Amino acid sequence: MAPFAHGIPSLLVGTAVISPSRIRDSRDAFLTTEAFFEIARHRLSQLGPAKIGSDDIAEATRGLYRMMLDDPTFVEAVSACSDHYHCSPVEAFRRELDNLITKWQQNGDFFSQRAYDLEDLYRLVSQPIDHPTMAKFPENAILVLPTLLTTELTGLDETRVKAVIAGRGGNHSHPAILLRSRGVPLIILNQDVDGVNIGDPVEIDFSRGTIRINGTIWKTWSLPVPEEQGLARLPENIEIWPCISTPDEALSLPMDHIGGIGLVRTEITPILSGRMPSREEMESEYTTILKHAGGRPVRFRLLDFEPDKPAPGFPDGIWGLDFLRNYPEWTRRQVDVLLKLSGQYPLGIILPMVRSEIEVNEFSSFLKKAKREMFGPDAEKWPPLSLGAMIETCEMTEIVGDIHGLDFWVIGTNDLCCSLTGRCREDGTTNSEALWNPELINLIASIVNKAKKTNIPLFLCGEGANSPKAIASYAEKGIRAFCPSPAGLTAYSAFACNK
């Protein structure tokens, strides 16, 4: 991420705010530990035996919990640690959790990349309290985080938080994308963030890659190398369908020269607010976006929670389409709102993390039932909702051409890149070069060919839709509809300037 792009000044001055402890202090760490393990057992039982063709994320989650359950001495270790260091049970729990993460990291890259999942899950289980809202922060706050996690950004107010400095994290992670969408500069140091105190004056120089505390250089970071643009211009028939996270982002969009809104991340609002929305709140938010689109199609991706963007109040480790299947009451609430609005506006639904035709058929039946129950005899007369699916794993690229009942496909370059390389989004070594990796380019070309054979519209979103070099590579392979973030629209302006 280039923090000095998209209207951000080269020099930023603010006041340091340290991420507070979010661990509930309890007299008995065993209760928290047992709750943690109970969730693990529940999730493992839901995953069941490994299935042929199951995706990397499910396998990684399975492996994470199985490894945790294979360490039966954890609870005893917490007690021993508390006695040895004369610390509180919660502090002992934290120390032993760190020891457990270290064990996983020694088992190779596959498991070490799940440490972020574990950290967020731990925070959910321990019920964060006394976490100051952003409203309590001073003006021009610089938020300093040891690790970049979505749970740290609940209630983010970009009018107060001027930048975020993280010791660890990935530029393609969901919290990074969230900050980018809110226009908040992010610096990931890939080093510890010790040596800064609450209230310290901070000066960030984005042109030199330096951070000063009290006038003295505290940290430096490597500035991103400007991308080679690739093609001097794009084909004439390129369509732009921006991807947004909030109604405010939609209202900032210039609607001229775009096909519609390609993807609305409906999970972001509940994550930012720290609670699930009511039916009325959903309807108000979606109506705002649809009205601004001015009659252009809008595609809403159903609630897509993942390890680094967990559902508020649901600490059970269920992600993607599995969340929608396991909590049909929440799926029905969202579907009912979208069905109602489809009578006034052209809109579509996107299913997250699809893995099989069975899942598509299940949801299609669910949608038809909801429609019949809402509209009765008039259900057949009601305008149809277009239905699409995300292509985010290598397994999905192989079977998508055989899945019936979909009106369009959406390639998610971030997760697809992770599936291909075996790296998670939070991995600090993941960079933009992965987006034009020849293997990924060829994989996308194969999807384009399948879309042509089935005559189905194909869209592409994620960081690949924001990178000029990646855009050029995908366009050469036949991608014609891109879903960039509002900040990524400048990439297309660069091409336009060369026409």
Splitting the chain (499 residues) into consecutive groups of 10 residues, what average pLDDT does each group show? 42 68 37 52 54 46 54 59 61 66 62 56 45 59 83 73 85 78 83 83 87 87 59 73 91 87 93 85 96 96 83 71 89 96 96 91 94 91 92 92 94 89 63 81 96 96 89 92 88 56
CATH of domain 239-497: 3.20.20.60
CB burial of residue 270 (10 Å; 0-12, 13-18, 19+): buried
Compute the Cα dihedral for 432, 444, 391, 286 and give only its sign.
Answer: positive
CATH, domain 11-20+133-220, list 3.40.190.10, 3.30.390.30, 3.30.1280.10, 3.50.30.10: 3.50.30.10
User: How confident is the model at residue 447, as a pLDDT?
Assistant: 97
User: How confident is the model at residue 129, as a pLDDT?
Assistant: 32
Tell me whether domains 11-20+133-220 and 239-497 share a fold. Answer: no
Which contiguous run of DSSP H or E holds residue 307? none
Cα–Cα distance measured from residue 416 to residue 444, given in angstroms and rounded to the nearest whole number: 9
Cα–Cα distance measured from residue 252 to residue 488, given in angstroms and rounded to the nearest whole number: 13
Q: How far is CA 311 from the centre of its chain?
A: 11
Cα–Cα distance measured from residue 77 to residue 74, given in angstroms and rounded to the nearest whole number: 5
Cα–Cα distance measured from residue 169 to residue 120, given in angstroms and rounded to the nearest whole number: 13
Q: Is the pTM of the predicted complex or chain greater than 0.75? A: no
SS3 of 380-401: the string is HHCCCCEEEEEECCHHHHHHHH
Reduce the DSSP state of residue 437 to 3 states and report it. Answer: coil
Cα–Cα distance measured from residue 307 to residue 38, given in angstroms and rounded to the nearest whole number: 18
- What is the separation, in whole angstroms, between the first and last Cα of the chain? 26
Of the candidates 222, 173, 177, 186, the residue with the CA atom closest to the CA atom of residue 3: 186
Query: If you search the block for the tokens 């302006």, which residue do you land on?
Result: 493
User: How confident is the model at residue 30, as a pLDDT?
Assistant: 47
Q: What is the largest CA-CA distance in the chain?
A: 72
Reduce the DSSP state of residue 433 to 3 states and report it. Answer: helix
Domain ranges for the chain, please list them.
11-20+133-220, 29-125, 239-497
User: How confident is the model at residue 54, as a pLDDT?
Assistant: 44
User: How confident is the model at residue 155, as a pLDDT?
Assistant: 65
Cα–Cα distance measured from residue 242 to residue 486, given in angstroms and rounded to the nearest whole number: 6
User: How confident is the model at residue 106, as a pLDDT?
Assistant: 66
